[in-house]
Structure formats: C-alpha cells, structure tokens
C-alpha cells in the first residue's frame, strides 16, 4: 500500500509530502495505481521547477523505488511561495481523489505541524 503524508503548517501552507510504499495493484510495469501516483508526483516536481523556477528539496530511493519526500524551502520569495502552494494543493487534491477511488491501494493524510 502507498501511504501519502502531507504536512501543513499552522498558517495553512503545505510544507512537505512523503510518499512511501508500493500499490501492488497489478504486475510490475502494469500497476496503474502506482503509475498514477508517480505521474502526480513527477508533475508536481516538474511544475515547481519549470514555473516557480527552483528545485524543491528531494529525497528518494532510486534503486528500489517506493519512497519520495518533497520539502519546500522556508525562505522562498512570496511569488514562488504562492505558485508552489497552488501546485502543492493540486498534488494533494489528486492524491486525495486517488485515495477515495483506490483506498485499498493508497491512503492520504495530512498532519498539521504545531
């Protein structure tokens, strides 16, 4: 199962996302749930890089897959921060919808930092 954990700050902004695990909803290479999560995550990162103009902080397991953590730097200028929040909320919406439709393979939750 894929676990997606989004961290939201007290001010309401999303600050990080951690995606852990494998969907195992089909054979390797044919797992549409895994492909959906990967597409959402890659599009999120690519959108930040292309349109917000910076590289987010990434941690991933390229050898085995099944792990991605994306963090947003705290010191972004306001225009980059606003654009990033739009992309982050879109990523969260996609993951939440996927969780609703494929709850046996994906769980998405939000934690609020204190």
Catalytic positions: 22, 34
Rounded Cα distance between 33 and 104, Å, is 10
Q: Cα 27–23–43 angle (5° rounding)?
A: 105
């Amino acid at each position: 199962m894929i676990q997606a954990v989004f961290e939201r700050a007290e001010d309401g902004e999303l600050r990080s996302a951690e995606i852990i695990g494998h969907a195992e909803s089909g054979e390797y290479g044919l797992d549409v749930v895994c492909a959906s999560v990967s597409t959402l995550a890659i599009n999120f990162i690519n959108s930040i890089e292309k349109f917000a103009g910076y590289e987010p902080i990434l941690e991933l397991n390229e050898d085995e897959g099944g792990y991605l953590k994306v963090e947003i730097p705290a010191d972004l200028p306001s225009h980059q921060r606003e654009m990033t929040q739009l992309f982050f909320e879109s990523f969260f919406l996609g993951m939440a919808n996927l969780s609703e439709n494929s709850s046996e393979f994906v769980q998405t939750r939000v934690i609020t930092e204190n």
